[in-house]
Structure 1
């Protein structure tokens, strides 16, 4: 993976597709419950919806015309505030999209060095 930030157009497309995947996942998690849905299962689904929504809630603004050219900033912020499952979610979705997020992982190394 590269430590160099991809071109902004590539990052904008990745952010748009990341949001698309997030909406699909939220819709799936919020779909009609089955009769045998346990309270624990329901709580887990609601928690997952919240995690994905919290992680992505700022990203649409970076696709607005007045903020074009700053999608990398939004993705960088989402990466920095994430850890654990949220970071795993980002990695898996960016892998699915074929987006090289090595530059985001390099942020962790830079922060650890300071």
Structure 2
């Protein structure tokens, strides 16, 4: 691998790890907000529970991909998450990644 290719691969790896960490952070913050007793009262409790479940379902496998023994294959974890996500979940992921300018176009070719 050429030096330029190695730098690109390292940047891509770091960006992907940061994108996963950002999703986890955003999902936990949103879950805490939705689960709060004084949460958004304009959304019915059962709808908030559905949203909490959707976020937890979407991100539950991601922490394992940040483990040092699996990080080199983190793209596999993201690809699985993407393939199994509903359109609404994908929309939320895209919004999160757009906020940090993560290039997820490689997932859209499926």
Of structures 1 and 2, the one with the larger relative CO (CA 8 A, separation 6+) is 1
Partner of residue 97, structure 2: 94
Note the 1:1-114 alignment, pairs <5 A. Answer: 7-33=12-38, 37=41, 41-107=44-110
Structure 1 unaligned regions, length at least 5: 108-114
Partner of 1:112: none
Whole-angstrom distance in 2 between the partners of 1:32 and 1:14: 30
CA RMSD after TM alignment: 2.1
Q: CA deviation at 1:99?
A: 0.5
Runs of 4+ residues deviating >4 angstroms: none
> 1:23-49 CA deviation, whole Å, 9 max, x = no partner?
111111111236xx58x7000000000
The SS at the match of 2:72 is coil
Structure 1 CA distance, aligned partners of 2:66 and 2:91?
Answer: 23
Structure-1 residue corresponding to 2:5 = none
Query: Quick check: 2:19–2:102 contact (8 Å CA) kept in 1?
Result: yes
